[in-house]
């Protein structure tokens, strides 16, 4: 399976009729999760993430996701599709999904200012030193690239909060970034992409080369 990374907007789901249409297509597990969410923004993002995953599975000739199962550290997987790996993320009004036949993780974050205190608290010392050595005008983008890449790796390995962000190092190498973690010698590839009003990243054994912008619904169903 070709690894794909896709970004979509949830703005269309603000229409109650469109939201109801999308809600009718997702799993009972997802509907129960949505029923527990009271604020509109989390509901839109939760439903949008589920719809984007189903859209990508459909494009790959696969059935909808159905109910998730979860690994020991909480990483979701599809029990009915054991050879399919996916990762979901959301920020602002955007949802991001990565899909592959090899392990991966992805993350999306809206634009924000570099926070040196946050970097010192969570980043590896070498990462913080590199970040703060950059000209001030470059630090915001570099901060977001590092943050999303590190979150992507944590998702890819499925260790969740048990793996501190400063327990591994991601630094520029050539035209991209390279990861160093003594306990993990797998050939992870990192991709960082800026898309409209957000930064996206993926960490994968079989990485995508581009990010796609897609609709949550196939064109024929709109």
**Confidence at residue 212, expressed as pLDDT on a 0 to 100 scale:** 94
Token duo for residue 130: 């590199």
- Report residues of the chain scoring pLDDT below 50: 220-222
- Write down the number of H helices and E strands in the chain: 6, 11
Token duo for residue 50: 């589920």
The CATH number fitting domain 4-221, selected from 3.40.50.12500, 2.40.50.100, 3.90.470.20, 3.30.70.270: 3.90.470.20
Domain boundaries along the sequence of the chain: 4-221
pLDDT digits (tens, 9 = 90+) for 2-20: 899 999 999 999 999 999 9
Q: Which residue has the tokens 């901060």?
A: 143
Spatial CA neighbour of 84 closest among 66, 96, 72:
66
Alpha-carbon distances of 113 from 92, 116, 136, 139, 187, rounded to whole Å: 15, 9, 10, 8, 31
* CB burial readout 169-205, b (16+ within 10 A) else e: bbeeeeeebebebeeeeeebbbbbbeeeebbbbbbbb
Q: Which residue has the tokens 């249409």?
A: 21
Which pTM does this prediction carry? 0.94
**Confidence at residue 74, expressed as pLDDT on a 0 to 100 scale:** 87
Q: What is the distance between the alpha carbons of residues 108 and 97, in angstroms, rounded to a whole number? A: 9
pLDDT digits (tens, 9 = 90+) for 174-204: 999 999 999 999 999 999 999 878 999 999 9
**Confidence at residue 221, expressed as pLDDT on a 0 to 100 scale:** 41
**Confidence at residue 73, expressed as pLDDT on a 0 to 100 scale:** 85
**Confidence at residue 54, expressed as pLDDT on a 0 to 100 scale:** 97
**Confidence at residue 219, expressed as pLDDT on a 0 to 100 scale:** 63
**Order of strands across the sheet with 198-204?**
104-110, 198-204, 189-195
């Amino acid at each position: 399976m070709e690894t794909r990374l896709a970004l979509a907007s949830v703005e269309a789901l603000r229409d109650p009729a469109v939201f109801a249409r999308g809600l009718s297509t997702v799993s009972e597990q997802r509907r129960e999760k949505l029923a527990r969410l009271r604020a509109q923004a989390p509901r839109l993002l939760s439903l949008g993430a589920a719809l984007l995953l189903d859209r990508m599975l459909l494009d790959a000739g696969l059935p909808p996701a159905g109910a998730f199962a979860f690994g020991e550290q909480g990483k979701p997987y599809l029990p009915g599709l054991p050879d399919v790996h996916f990762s979901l993320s959301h920020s602002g009004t955007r949802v991001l999904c990565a899909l592959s036949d090899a392990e991966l993780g992805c993350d999306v974050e809206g634009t924000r200012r570099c926070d040196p205190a946050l970097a010192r608290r969570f980043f590896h010392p070498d990462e913080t030193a590199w970040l703060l050595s950059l000209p001030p005008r470059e630090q915001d983008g570099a901060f977001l690239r590092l943050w999303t890449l590190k979150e992507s790796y944590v998702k890819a390995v499925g260790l969740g909060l048990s793996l501190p962000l400063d327990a591994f190092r991601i630094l520029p190498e050539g035209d991209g970034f390279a990861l160093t973690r003594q306990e993990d010698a797998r050939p992870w590839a990192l991709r960082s992409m800026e898309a409209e009003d957000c930064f996206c990243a993926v960490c994968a054994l079989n990485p995508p080369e581009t990010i796609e912008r897609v609709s949550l619904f196939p064109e024929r169903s709109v």
